[in-house]
Amino acid sequence: MIPFNIPPYVGKELEYVKEAMEKNRKICGDGPFTKKCNEWMEKRFNVEKVLLTTSCTHAIEMAAILTDIKEGDEVIAPSFTFVSTVNPFVLRGAKIVFIDINPKTMNLDENLIEAAITEKTKAILPVHYAGVACNMDKIMEIAKKHNLIVIEDAAQGVMSEYKGKPLGTIGEYGCFSFHETKNYSMGEGGALLINNKENVEKAEIIREKGTNRSRFFRGQVDKYTWVDKGSSYLPSELNAAYLYAQLENADLIYNDRMNTWNKYKELLQELADKNLIELQYIPEDCKHNAHMFYIKCKDLDERTNLINFLKENDINAVFHYIPLHSAEAGLKFGRFHGEDKYTTKESERLLRLPLYYGLKEKDVEFISSKIKEFYVKK
């Protein structure tokens, strides 16, 4: 069976984990490897501050606390996303206002944002689906006009760019994921990107259980104490050590995945030219990261049949999100503004193909040949 995903492993992960245990003798949070990861991202993405977290969910949760989301507030988000995009705001009592997507990119339709804004709206949550950027110029323009906070869910967007700017560095906050299904992994983990210097100290306090521990270790106070609300969002140093080995080889992983993505596109283009499938659309001002390669089938029935056909040929291709607004909790904690013209329909067509670091070209060729075979048989 060709799996949908294999967690990335480049070679030095175990060496660095062993170094954390035996040389550094530091396996809790904020050790040398956590610092190296933070500094690597700060330099690479030219961002004010990066804080490694236990997950992207927790990075978004920190952003929700920093934004001071309260009971009765509203935040605008796409329905076609993972529940982690919105759960942190629901936990703080906010209402989720879902809007429709742009069917070409599967990102929220920026032209529908303003109509969904009320006096209760506090934030906009653009999700960069498949590592392809939302229209951030328009989103930031709307946010500035209405005095709203923009929190980028860039879980899938590490190493992607919008008009030359790394995703996660455009809004007030950006959130990365380093889950095992992502391009760069630490098993479970994430990062909060803070783009305004004045928010850094408060973020450190929230991440450190509400204490000023970071200031203490910098010698800015003679003892640390509980100063504000917070929780424990520090990942283990073992996870950070694993991740750092991959950040050191970020371009190697990026290039490998891009080669796979481009090969899929080359091999499947003829089906798209015959209007049998749709291929992923990349806007000209976006640099993507080959987080996924998906195709769109005619409808749900065709997708289901293709999934089963590929499974019979030992290929694990998978669909993605069930739109949140139609879920039980979505109906309870949110509302859909306007018409669901594309969200449900397009989500039922989308099929993700295997893509991971080290996927062999012959496997890409085999997968593509079986997709062609399916459509010839039809």
Q: Is residue 311 part of a domain?
A: yes
Same domain, 278 and 355: yes
What would the mean pLDDT of 199-226 be, rounded to a whole number?
A: 81
Q: Is residue 190, in this structure, part of any structural domain at all?
A: yes
Question: Distance between CA atoms of 82 and 289, rounded to whole angstroms?
Answer: 19
pTM, two decimal places:
0.96
Domain of 85 in residue numbering reads as: 13-247
User: CA–CA separation, 339 vs 337, rounded Å?
Assistant: 7
In a domain, 176, yes or no: yes
Residues 238 and 266 in one domain: no
* Domain end marker among 203, 227, 247: 247
Pairing of strands 95-99, 74-78: parallel
Q: What share of the chain is helix, strand, coil (3-state, %, to 5)?
A: 40, 15, 40
Q: Residue 307 is inside which H or E element, if any?
A: helix 300-312
Report d(CA 359, CA 340) in Å as an integer. 36
Sign, Cα dihedral of 86, 87, 93, 95: positive
187: which strand partners?
Answer: none
How many whole angstroms separate alpha carbon 289 and alpha carbon 182?
A: 11
Q: Is residue 223 domain-shared with residue 180, that is, in the same domain?
A: yes
Strand pairing category for 149-153 and 121-124 = parallel
- Let me know whether 240 and 308 are in one domain: no
Can you give the CATH number for the domain in which 203 is found? 3.40.640.10
Same domain for 258 and 229, yes or no, is no
Q: Are residues 151 and 265 in the same domain?
A: no
Distance between CA atoms of residues 77 and 152, nearest Å? 10
**Would you say residue 1 lies in a domain?**
no
pLDDT digits (tens, 9 = 90+) for 117-157: 999 999 999 999 999 999 999 999 999 999 999 999 999 99
> Does residue 237 have a pLDDT over 90?
yes
Q: Is residue 216 scored above 70 in pLDDT?
A: no
Q: Could you give the residue ranges of the DSSP H alpha helices within 198-275?
A: 200-207, 213-217, 237-247, 250-273
Q: What CATH number has the domain bearing residue 311?
A: 3.90.1150.10
238 and 263 belong to one structural domain: no
4 assigned to some structural domain: no
> What does the pLDDT average to over 239-252?
98
Domain end: 247, 270, 286, which one? 247
Q: What is the pLDDT of residues 31-78, one digit of tens each?
A: 999 999 999 999 999 999 999 999 999 999 999 999 999 999 999 999
In this structure, the answer to whether residues 277 and 357 fall within a common structural domain is: yes
Number of domains into which the chain is organized: 2
Which of 247, 263, 285 is the endpoint of a domain? Answer: 247
Cβ-proximal residues to 273 (8 Å cutoff; 6+ apart), any chain: none
Q: How much is the pLDDT for 261? A: 98
pLDDT at 93 over 80: yes
Instruction: Tell me: do 65 and 124 sit in the same domain.
Output: yes
104 in the same domain as 165: yes
Any domain includes 8:
no
**Residue 306: which residues within 8 A CB-CB, separation 6 or more?**
297, 317, 351, 371, 374
Q: In the prediction, which pLDDT does 219 show?
A: 66
User: Are residues 287 and 212 part of one domain?
Assistant: no
* Residues 56 and 161 grouped into a single domain: yes
Report the range of poorest mean pLDDT among 180-194, 224-238, 360-374: 224-238
Rounded to an integer, the average pLDDT of 257-276 is 98
Q: How far apart are CA 64 and CA 78, in angstroms?
A: 17
Residue 331 lies in a domain: yes
Residue 7 domain-assigned? Answer: no
How much is the mean pLDDT over the chain? 96
